Amino acid sequence: MYLKSLSLRQFRNYDQQCLHLSAAKTIIVGDNAQGKTNLLEAVELLSTLQSHRTNRDGDLVLNGETTGQIHGILERQMGTMELGLTLRRNGRRTVILNGQTQRRYLDLLGLLNTVRFSSTDLELVRGGPEQRRQWLDRLLTQLEPLYAHIWQQYQQVLRQRNALLKSHHANSTRPSQEELALWDAQLTATGIRVIRRRSRALARLSPLAIAWHQLISGCRETLEIRYLPNVKSETDHLEAWQQAFLVKIEERMMAEYHQHTSLVGPHRDDIEFTINNTPARQYGSQGQQRTLVLALKLAELELIEQIVRDSPLLLLDDVLAELDLKRQNQLLEAIQDRFQTLITTTHLGAFDAHWLRHSQVVTVESGRIMTDQQPLILTPNQPHHSNATKI
Amino acid sequence: MYTLPLARLIEQLQRLPGVGPKTAQRLALYILQRPDTEIQALAQALMDAKEKVGQCSVCFHLTADPICEICLDPTRDRHLICLVIDSRDVIALEKTREYRGLYHVLGGLISPMDGISPEQLNIQPLIQRVHRERPEEVILAISPSVEGETTTLYVGHLLKAFTRVTRIAFGLPMGGDLEYADEITLARALEGRRELD
């Protein structure tokens, strides 16, 4: 898939700007706080309807305005489509596909697939379990847009169950067994759906990540990815899962009363990475952790490509500078022209000259996008769309 | 900007669901242009409706009488009770003219977040009614949201001891093409598949 253009209106620090993406790789240069990441965030929003930076649409709208808009023209094998998202300071957002407002958000999900790789991803191994869950859930939404619905339902059950536990804490009473059992059943039903899908996605991703990891580390190390669901079942039968949930809920009942929050379910899952049978989180060196995250990201690209049967976009947010030259080259070699890539950076110095020649370079300065550097970078016999056609 | 009585009218209208500042202004200015008699009739209708319309003592549907028309109708099938969330659902089902049984209006969904527990809904009166009237079947017509499912689960469990409990099918809209159905509906329709009669 190929994103041809991205238009922003009153989005973050952009008043009205349009970016035409004319090469397989676009390098966005600018000083800090000029709006580079905002561009990638806009692409991310069209892709997943979520931003990794905020949950509030108000943050996404230009200061002093009430609505913001993102619009993108996407070329896929099945044809060209226009994706639109209107964000409001107060009120619900609107998703628009080919000029038509869609009733469900789900209708926009899964059309534009992206893999985001930012410097915060380097914390994926060392950071808390929540980061790893978010990473997996984001991938799952790309692979199976329906997962967004399944996850929302689970969260709604969780909110309701927590409200029940809290309300009785406030009145120093215990919730009726009957009412709690009701929400236990819902937690179990929706929780099993989440666990099964997470487990399936990791099982698919794992061999790809292991292969990439071996390649990058030069076969010296063996990676293992293990899903650590909060509720474990010996077999994958529905009854076994239900039983496992009930047993665990029973076990944690007293703790739940005291902490008045739900302690059982996939909102407490984790994913463990081990290198040569040692947890990467505790023992991996910074270099080892970076190799691991790089392998995960490459595996994500490959898995989405396999399942969606179209190549996703890669969004590299300020991350190349964080990788050493060897890993940079491995990443760039793996991408080549196969995946449209948007890269943000503060300086072009770190880029290979040959590589720069094949890229579109744009400069961002306080909410303005300038493409005037482009003719300097592209050689005269390199028409704008030459790279685009390879996608 | 507005003279005080007009500002008050706009403010009141704006409290209505689906009415924003612009619509409220338009309605208020329209009201000012109408003859006195018409506005008196409107005001009277508002007061009357509020004063006279209450809930049916049997099924909790909106009615001006102690017992609603549907419950009093001798031609209705008294072996069937359809459980719905509010009176709007009764009206929607009545429009189909397919259903000839009775109703029971629950008055909401179980939702701890909104402070709604089963005791606040018309569930106890339903149990008593089923116990008393012994219908052959209770049909649960509750939307499949998280709260709807939970309420269905709860009520279904309680009623099973007394009677046959069914729930309406969820699935594809009539005249709709399979390819245009969304994934959630389709998954739901697959779950609820049945033998070809």
* Residue that terminates a domain, selected from B52, B67, B86: B52
Q: Do A160 and B153 touch (CB under 8 A)?
A: no
Contacts of B153 in chain A (CB under 8 A): 182, 185-186
In a domain, B189, yes or no: no
To probe the interface with B, which of A146, A197, A238 has the most B CB atoms within 10 Å?
A146
Mutate to test the interface with A, among B109, B124, B183 (most CBs of A within 10 A): B183
Residues 6 or more apart in contact with residue A1 via CB below 8 angstroms: A74, A75, A76, A77, A112, A113, A310, A311, A312, A313, A340, A391
Chain A: which residues have CB within 8 Å of chain B? 104, 106-107, 145-146, 149, 153, 156-157, 159-161, 163-164, 167, 178-179, 182-183, 185-186, 190
My answer on whether A41 and A128 are in the same domain is no
Q: Could you give the number of structural domains in chain B?
A: 2
Instruction: Check CB contact under 8 Å for B118 and A179.
Output: yes
What's the pLDDT tens digit per position in A263-320? 999 999 999 999 988 888 887 788 888 889 999 999 999 999 999 999 999 999 988 8
Distance from CA of A174 to the nearest CA of B (A): 14
CATH number of the domain where residue A96 is located = 3.40.50.300
Q: Which helix (H) or strand (E) holds B142?
A: none
Cα(A267)–Cα(A75) distance, integer angstroms: 36
Q: Are residues B99 and B71 in the same domain?
A: yes
Residues B86 and B112 in one domain: yes
Single-letter amino acid code for the residue at A176: S
A178 and A254 together in one domain:
yes
Q: Which of B111, B149, B184 sits opposite A149 (nearest CB)?
A: B184
Instruction: Report residue B19 as tokens.
Output: 């009415």
Same domain for A47 and A9? yes
- Give the model's pLDDT for residue B175: 64
Same domain, A35 and A168: no
Instruction: Kindly determine whether residue A186 and residue B187, on different chains, have CB atoms separated by under 8 Å.
Output: no
A138 vs A297: CA distance, rounded Å: 12
What confidence tier does B95 reach under pLDDT thresholds 50, 70, 90? Answer: very high
Domain boundary among A308, A343, A360: A308
Chain mean position to CA A339: 16
> CA angle A27-A112-A36, nearest 5°?
30
| Residue A389: pLDDT over 70 | no
Q: Which residue of B has its CA nearest to A186?
A: B150
Q: Across the interface, do A159 and B113 touch by the CB < 8 Å criterion? A: yes
Domain ranges, residue A267:
122-308
Q: What is the mean pLDDT of residues A336-348?
A: 90
Give residue B176's pLDDT: 60
Q: A179 to chain B: which residues are within 8 Å by CB?
A: 110, 117-118, 154
Mark whether B43 and B76 lie in a shared domain: no
- DSSP H/E element including A138: helix A129-143
CB contact under 8 A, B146 and A157: yes
Condensed to tens digits (0 to 9), the pLDDT of residues A52-92 reads 899 899 999 999 999 999 999 999 988 899 999 999 998 89
Mean pLDDT of all residues in chain B?
A: 91
How does residue A383 score in pLDDT terms, banded at 50, 70 and 90? Answer: very low
Domain count, chain A: 2
Cα end-to-end distance, chain A, whole Å:
7
**Does B25 map to a domain?**
yes
Q: In terms of domains, do A273 and A179 share one?
A: yes
Of A275, A308, A341, the one marking the end of a domain is A308
Who wins on pLDDT, A386 or A221?
A: A221
The strand order across the sheet containing A278-279 reads: A223-228, A270-275, A278-279
Of B112, B153, B183, the CB nearest to A160: B112
Closest CA in chain B for residue A145: B183
Which of A97, A179, A256 would best serve as a mutation to test chain B binding (most B beta carbons within 10 A)? Answer: A179
Q: What is the pLDDT of residue B177?
A: 67
Predicted local confidence at residue B181, as pLDDT = 65
CATH number, domain with residue B41: 1.10.8.420
| Residue B61 sits in the same domain as residue B22 | no
Could you give the CA distance from residue A184 to residue A189 in angstroms, rounded to a whole number? 9
Q: Do residue A233 and residue A367 come from a single domain?
A: no
A103 and A43 both lie in a single domain: yes
Set of chain A residues whose Cβ sits within 8 Å of the Cβ of B183: 106, 145-146, 149
What whole-number distance in Å separates Cα of residue B129 and Cα of residue B132? 5
- Assess whether A196 and A224 both reside in one domain: yes
Task: Give the residue from A308, A325, A355 where a domain finishes.
Answer: A308
> Which residues partner with A87 through β-bridges?
A68
DSSP symbols for A278-312: EEHHHH--HHHHHHHHHHHHHHHHHHHHHHHSSPP
Does residue B98 form part of some domain?
yes
> How far away is chain B from the Cα of A153, in angstroms, using its nearest Cα?
6
Q: Is residue B18 in a domain? A: yes
What pLDDT shows up at residue A270?
96
Nearest-CA residue of chain A relative to B187? A146
The reported pLDDT for the residue numbered A382 is 41
Q: Which of B110, B149, B184 sits opposite A146 (nearest CB)?
A: B184
Give ipTM to 2 decimals. 0.76
Q: Domain for residue B62, yes or no? A: yes
**Is B187 within the bounds of a domain?**
no
With contact defined as beta carbons under 8 Å apart, do A280 and A292 qualify?
A: yes
Q: Measure CB to CB from residue B112 to each of A104, A145, A167 and give the nearest one.
A: A167
Closest CA of chain B from A73, distance in Å = 23
Residues B158 and B118 in one domain: yes
- Is B182 in Cβ contact with A104 (below 8 Å)? yes
Q: Are residues B61 and B126 in the same domain?
A: yes
What tokens were used for A325? 């030259």
Min mean pLDDT across A166-170, A222-226, B164-168 is at A166-170
SS3 state at A276: coil
Would you say A51 and A70 are in contact if contact means Cβ atoms under 8 Å apart? no
**A330 and A296 part of one domain:** no
Tell me how close the Cα of B20 comes to any Cα of chain A, in angstroms: 13
- Identify the pLDDT of residue A192: 95
Q: Is residue B13 part of a domain?
A: yes
Q: Which amino acid is at B96?
A: T
| Claim to verify: residue B108 and residue B79 sit in the same structural domain | yes
* Strand-strand pairing, A94-97 and A79-88: antiparallel
What angle in degrees, to the nearest 10, is found between the helix axes of A177-217 and A286-308?
100
Q: Is the pLDDT of residue B170 over 50?
A: yes
A230 and A130 together in one domain: yes
What pLDDT does A353 receive? 77
Q: Are residues A78 and A127 in the same domain?
A: no
Residue B79 lies in a domain: yes
Same domain, B40 and B86: no
B135 & B159 share domain: yes
Q: How confident is the model at residue A386 (pLDDT cuts 50, 70, 90)?
A: very low
Block residue for tokens 């279904």:
B156
B44 and B71 inside one domain: no
Same domain flag for B115 and B29: no
| Chain B residues inside the 8 Å CB shell of A107 | 182
Task: State yes or no: pLDDT of A387 exceeds 60.
Answer: no
Q: Output the six-digit token pair for A212.
A: 């990439």
Could you tell me the residue range of the domain that residue B160 belongs to? 55-167
One domain, residues B113 and B38:
no
Question: Quick one: A230 and A261 in the same domain?
Answer: yes
